[in-house]
Amino acid sequence: MELYALTLHELADRLAKREITSRELTGSVLHRIEAVEENIQAYITLDPEGALKQAEEADRRLGEGETAPLLGIPLAIKDVLCTKGLRTTAGSKILEPFVPPYDATVIDRLKKSGAVILGKASMDEFAMGSSNENCPYTIPKNPWNRAHICGGSSGGSAAAVAADECIAALGSDTGGSIRQPASHCGVVGLKPTYGRVSRFGLLAYASSLDQIGPLTKDVTDAALMMNVIAGYDPRDSTSINLPVPDYTASLATDLKGIRVGIPREYFGEGLDPEVESAVHNAIKALQEAGAETVEISLPHTAYGVAAYYIIAPAEASSNLARYDGVKYGYRDHEPQSLLEMYRLTRSQGFGPEVKRRIIIGTYALSSGYYEAYYKKASQVRTLIIEDFLKAFQQCDLLISPVTPTPAWRLAEKSADPLSMYLSDVLTIPTNLAGLPGISVPCGFSRTGLPIGVQLQSSHFTEEKILQAAFALEQRLGIKNKKPQL
């Protein structure tokens, strides 16, 4: 098998044993990118020169006998994270010329661990979207069927992992943006507990919901990435000071004693029968691994989308106020006044979905509407959290579909924002509650489109979902299937 097609853990092993060099590995992935990127369009910015230099540095460190979990491993980074000296756009024209003067904390951690950064992956603008179609740079195509979407907003990251255009990737998840594209592209995607991974250097969309996480070829790789990126950061005031376990130590195939909750509201009307059947298959696999299942109810599930599409735009309207043409990014150069500069810059720089959400958010927070919308949504958020807390008294983790249907066709939903929003119903509650969630491949539709299954657990218990995901992966035996490119 080609080097680019192997998993992170397999490659880390070969690199450590000096069987291969990072230069060879990075070269292999760059060749792969050259061969398929025109058809996949996973990247906004590629940095082959920088990557090869980093690979050489990694080889030097390996030569000195250094060991580090990601030493020499080439990664793709969702373009929502600041990478020093490497253009970062958040998938928006408003940041087209922006070159960050600093690395995000997670990037700093990756670099210390010796990772090689290949480039910046495509995304929905400012992480707002579920199909990666809200991107003025590139719209990634699903490697399993290029007439279909990759999902979003971390669509580029998911596509790159699925197409072997990187060994692993980072994405961000605010309402499902790691888990949903992971599910649509047949890769593993993990959203950590809120506060588990530092948001310093993440271009913020909704500050109480955003989390950074890995997209990988298998569960072991996700655990390895988590070991590196998780941890307290004094520069993120929402970062939680708890020790980081070795997430690879919890991977097991025996789930005796584990109680898996099946939330009935996640299996309602609108769920594609093929998705339902694939998820039931996964439930059976967990039972065969020794887990006990229990019926659970999360009664406020159906209200999550409504609450989210007030809270997230409200927070975004505040976060995106900084894009004003003053300190960085695009500026309209003909303004007659300061106010006009703000208006023209923002109107020209932001795409339609971003403008839509800024307007919803501004409206929901404006005087006269704040109570009816933002406050109400925040109260419903409390009810959703209480549902989960009650559920976790009866079970260790929850299993459900990730998304009601497999990946839809390009342009199929782009004319109707609301129908796009409704497809996030199964992933949004996780973010509202700040819980960890993982999507792991569990099957395919009749037409060959990937289907993922979602596991959620209580705060700071990523070990539980990684453990069950690993057991599933081992039993389902589909992890080595690759798209034909």
Partner 1 sequence: MKITAEEVRYVARLARLELSPEEVSSTTEQLDRILSYVDKLNELNTEGVKPTTHALAINNAFREDEVRASLPQDEALANGPSHNREAFIVPRVI
Residues with catalytic function: 78, 153, 177
Strands 259-263 and 74-78: unpaired
Three-class SS state of 120: strand
Phi-psi region of 152 (alpha: psi -120 to 50; beta: other; left: phi over 0): beta
Number of residues in the chain: 485
Residues 223-262 that bind partner 1 (CB under 8 A): 234, 237-240
- Which one of the spans 71-79, 113-121, 347-355, 393-401 is the region binding partner 1 (CB under 8 A)? 347-355
Three-class SS state of 72: coil
Binding test (CB under 8 A) with partner 1, winner from 303, 392, 408, 470: 303
Q: Is 214 an interacting residue with respect to partner 1 (CB under 8 A)?
A: no
To the nearest whole angstrom, how small is the minimum distance from the Cβ of residue 95 to partner 1? 9
**Smallest Cα–Cα separation from 216: which of 188, 249, 181?**
188
**Residue 319: how many other CB atoms lie within 10 Å:** 18
Residues 145-174 that bind partner 1 (CB under 8 A): none
- Which one of the spans 45-53, 119-127, 250-258, 330-338 is the region binding partner 1 (CB under 8 A)? 330-338
Q: Is 341 an interacting residue with respect to partner 1 (CB under 8 A)?
A: yes
What span, in angstroms and rounded, lies between the C-alpha atoms of 36 and 5?
A: 13
The token duo for 27 is 């070269």
Q: Is 459 an interacting residue with respect to partner 1 (CB under 8 A)?
A: yes
Strands 211-216 and 168-173: antiparallel
Binding test (CB under 8 A) with partner 1, winner from 417, 437, 441, 443: 417
Q: By C-beta, is 249 or 383 nearer to partner 1?
A: 383
What span, in angstroms and rounded, lies between the C-alpha atoms of 278 and 292?
A: 19
- Which one of the spans 91-99, 131-139, 397-405, 436-444 is the region binding partner 1 (CB under 8 A)? 91-99
Binding test (CB under 8 A) with partner 1, winner from 346, 413, 464, 479: 346
Binding test (CB under 8 A) with partner 1, winner from 336, 446, 477, 484: 336
Q: Is 404 an interacting residue with respect to partner 1 (CB under 8 A)?
A: no
Residues 277-296 that bind partner 1 (CB under 8 A): none
Q: Is 339 an interacting residue with respect to partner 1 (CB under 8 A)?
A: yes
Question: In this structure, are residues 321 and 205 in contact, taking their beta carbons and an 8 Å threshold?
Answer: no
What span, in angstroms and rounded, lies between the C-alpha atoms of 328 and 272?
A: 45
Question: In this structure, are residues 129 and 420 in contact, taking their beta carbons and an 8 Å threshold?
Answer: yes
- Which one of the spans 1-9, 69-77, 406-414, 430-438 is the region binding partner 1 (CB under 8 A)? 430-438
Q: Is 392 an interacting residue with respect to partner 1 (CB under 8 A)?
A: no
Residues 98-117 that bind partner 1 (CB under 8 A): 98-99, 101-102
To the nearest whole angstrom, how small is the minimum distance from the Cβ of residue 320 to partner 1? 9
To the nearest whole angstrom, how small is the minimum distance from the Cβ of residue 222 to partner 1? 22
Quick check: bond before 153 cis, omega within 30? yes
Distance of CA 4 to the CA centre of its chain: 21
Phi-psi region of 124 (alpha: psi -120 to 50; beta: other; left: phi over 0): beta
Q: By C-beta, is 84 or 264 nearer to partner 1?
A: 84
Adjacent-strand bridge partners of 453: 401, 440
Q: Is 179 an interacting residue with respect to partner 1 (CB under 8 A)?
A: no
To the nearest whole angstrom, how small is the minimum distance from the Cβ of residue 458 to partner 1? 12
Instruction: Give the total of residues touching partner 1 (CB under 8 A).
Output: 74
Provide the H-helix boundaries in 324-411: 338-349, 352-365, 376-391
Q: By C-beta, is 207 or 474 nearer to partner 1?
A: 207
Binding test (CB under 8 A) with partner 1, winner from 434, 443, 450, 483: 434
Q: Is 411 an interacting residue with respect to partner 1 (CB under 8 A)?
A: no
**Smallest Cα–Cα separation from 26: which of 109, 118, 110?**
118
* 3-state DSSP percent of the chain in helix, strand and coil, to 5: 45, 15, 45
Q: Is 45 an interacting residue with respect to partner 1 (CB under 8 A)?
A: no
* Binding mask of the shown chain, residues 352 to 391, with x at each position contacting partner 1 by CB under 8 A: x--xx-xxx-xx--x------x-xxxxxxxxx-x------
Q: By C-beta, is 109 or 357 nearer to partner 1?
A: 357
Q: What's the N-to-C CA distance of the chain in angstroms?
A: 15
- Which one of the spans 30-38, 73-81, 171-179, 342-350 is the region binding partner 1 (CB under 8 A)? 342-350
Q: By C-beta, is 234 or 268 nearer to partner 1?
A: 234
Q: List CB contacts of 429: < 8 A, sequence separation 6 or more.
A: 298, 301, 304, 384, 388
